[in-house]
């Protein structure tokens, strides 16, 4: 089956400080022509001597040799850090900008919502822009008229539908633009992070509409920094880094790879040999602490609902039965919970002069935010005797995830933790959330 979008060797080069070539008005053309004539005259009067060439600026590859296919009916999420090339890719797919090299093949009508202002004429009213957008997609006026009421109802701008859109707020503008893009039934729908302009209720409606569009068999390409939205909406995901293709595959796997590769990998370990948080009088036995995610990869950030392992290496002049305690605190220093190997029923049988103790926190119910760990190392044969104590030994971040499977992200700072629960009406069936 032929893909509906085919991208081969796509590259885009920008020269910093230099504008892209654009269409000019007649006035601009005449002014530029007069300017060029004046420069030629000065050149001749100066004896043909040229001045120093102006520095055109540095080159920046926004995309470099990117290739991938998208099948009809596929919902593709595109993720990556700011500057990874996501928006540039969508602009090329939308034919707003031309690639420097490479080829894009699109087999179907394209509707896009890339940034506030794209596709609408500011002097035309909302109604006129709806008909203009439909005409650009090749729709007949009668087809557009049939969709008009749905578009207006979804966008909630009925009172202003005959007002020029230049007078709209950014939220009104985006609501109408999304409604037009989603309801005029293009085979390919391209959506950028612009949805973040809207309020929570509007974003929820948009995600629901994109899911409906996908179920109708149309293709959606969605750029977002909201990983929960990517996972709940997208079947596959494309990971870009510094303008280059990294991976494409199932959304949950690619999101996990992105968070591991891009977010705080440098803070996965901390030296404990000399640490400002060591308690006075402690015997400096702990040497290094390393955090790992549930795949065993060192990381300084995990997603909600993921496991975290804490590896603490130690060295002691006298062999000990190592006992490790871990206290997890939030950004305000409030202890959320504490665990130790005694609670877990694990007691080492061999005295060691050096080694590594590993504590695995199995899917701690942490909300998004920054957390730190206090570490306690003692001799397990002498219960309650902490030989080395370090406060705020290492910190890590928890990033939002759709832990309840509803497409909604639990908010940071609303409580200390989240917890699964079930709700039901007395005469209804239980619904797990």
The pLDDT tens digits of the residues spanning 313-335 come to 999 989 999 999 999 998 878 89
> How far is it, in rounded angstroms, from Cα 410 to Cα 105?
39
Residue 53 is predicted with a pLDDT of 45
Task: Report the DSSP beta bridge partners of residue 111.
Answer: 189
In 3D space, the residue among 310, 433, 423, 424 whose CA is nearest the CA of residue 362 turns out to be: 310
Please determine whether the domains at 59-262 and 265-399 fall in the same fold group of CATH: no
Helix (H, G, I), strand (E, B) or coil at 287: strand
H helix runs in 156-239, sequence order: 170-183, 200-215, 227-233
65 close to 245: Cβ distance less than 8 angstroms: yes
pLDDT tier, 54 (very low <50, low <70, confident <90, very high otherwise): very low
Tokens 């392992």, residue located? 309
Decide: 322 and 314 in contact? Cβ < 8 Å. Answer: yes
Of 334, 294, 290, 328, which is closest to residue 310 (Cα–Cα)?
290
Residues in the chain: 433
pTM for the full predicted model: 0.61
What count of other Cβ atoms lies within 10 Å of the Cβ of residue 335?
A: 11
Rounded average pLDDT over 168-183: 81
Distance from C-alpha of 7 to C-alpha of 415, rounded to nearest angstrom = 45
The residues with which 272 forms a beta bridge, in sequence order, are none
With b meaning 16 or more CB within 10 Å and e meaning fewer, what string describes 405-416?
eebbbbeeeeee
The backbone torsions φ and ψ at residue 214, rounded to the nearest 5 degrees and listed phi first, read -65, -40
Residue 129 neighbours by CB under 8 Å, 6+ apart: 120, 121, 165, 176, 180
Q: Which fold has domain 265-399?
A: Coagulation Factor XIII; Chain A, domain 1 (2.70.50)
Fold of 59-262: Rossmann fold (3.40.50)
C-alpha to C-alpha distance for 63 and 274, rounded to whole angstroms: 44
Contact predicate 362/307, CB 8 Å: yes
- Average pLDDT on 186-200 reads 72
Share of the chain above pLDDT 70, in %: 83
Is the pLDDT assigned to residue 428 strictly greater than 70? no
Q: pLDDT, tens digit, for every residue of 126-163?
A: 899 888 888 877 778 888 888 898 888 888 888 899 99
Nearest to 88 by CA among 227, 196, 223, 210: 223
Q: Rounded to whole angstroms, how far apart are CA atoms 90 and 78? A: 10
Q: What are the sequence ranges of the domains in the chain?
A: 59-262, 265-399
């Amino acid at each position: 089956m032929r893909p509906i979008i085919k991208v081969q060797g796509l590259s885009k080069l920008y020269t910093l400080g230099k504008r892209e070539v654009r269409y000019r008005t007649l006035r601009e053309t005449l002014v530029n022509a007069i300017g060029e004539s004046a420069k030629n005259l000065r050149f001749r009067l100066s004896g043909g001597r040229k001045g120093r060439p102006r520095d055109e600026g540095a080159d920046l590859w926004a995309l470099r040799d990117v290739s991938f296919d998208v099948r009809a009916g596929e919902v593709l999420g595109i993720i990556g850090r700011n500057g990874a090339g996501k928006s540039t890719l969508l602009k090329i797919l939308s034919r707003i900008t031309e690639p420097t090299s490479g080829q894009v093949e699109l087999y179907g009508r394209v509707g896009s919502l890339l940034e506030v202002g794209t596709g609408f004429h500011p002097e035309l009213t909302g109604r006129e822009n709806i008909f203009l957008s439909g005409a650009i997609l090749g729709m007949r006026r009668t087809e557009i008229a049939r969709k008009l009421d749905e578009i207006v109802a979804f966008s909630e701008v009925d009172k202003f539908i005959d007002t020029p859109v230049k007078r709209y707020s950014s939220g009104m503008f985006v609501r109408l633009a999304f409604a037009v893009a989603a309801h005029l039934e293009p085979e390919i729908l391209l959506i950028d992070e612009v949805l973040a302009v809207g309020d929570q209720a509007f974003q929820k409606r948009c995600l629901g509409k994109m899911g409906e569009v996908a179920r109708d068999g149309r293709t959606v390409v969605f750029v977002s920094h909201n990983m929960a939205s990517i996972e709940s909406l997208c079947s596959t995901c494309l990971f870009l880094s510094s303008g280059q293709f990294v991976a494409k595959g199932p959304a949950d796997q690619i999101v996990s790879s992105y968070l591991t590769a891009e977010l705080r990998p440098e803070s996965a370990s901390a030296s404990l040999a000399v640490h400002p948080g060591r308690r006075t009088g402690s015997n400096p036995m702990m040497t290094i602490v390393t955090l790992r995610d549930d795949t065993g990869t060192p990381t300084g950030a995990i997603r909600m609902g993921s496991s975290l392992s804490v590896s603490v290496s130690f060295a002691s002049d006298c062999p000990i039965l190592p006992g490790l305690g871990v206290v997890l605190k939030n950004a305000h220093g409030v202890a959320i919970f504490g665990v130790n190997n005694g609670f877990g029923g694990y007691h080492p049988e061999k005295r060691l002069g050096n080694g590594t103790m590993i504590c695995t926190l199995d899917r701690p119910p942490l909300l998004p935010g920054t957390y730190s760990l206090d570490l306690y190392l003692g001799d397990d044969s002498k219960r309650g005797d902490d030989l080395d104590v370090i406060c705020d030994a290492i910190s890590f971040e928890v990033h939002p995830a759709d832990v309840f499977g509803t497409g909604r992200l639990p908010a940071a700072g609303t409580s200390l933790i989240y917890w699964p629960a079930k709700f039901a009406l007395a005469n209804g069936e239980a619904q797990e959330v």
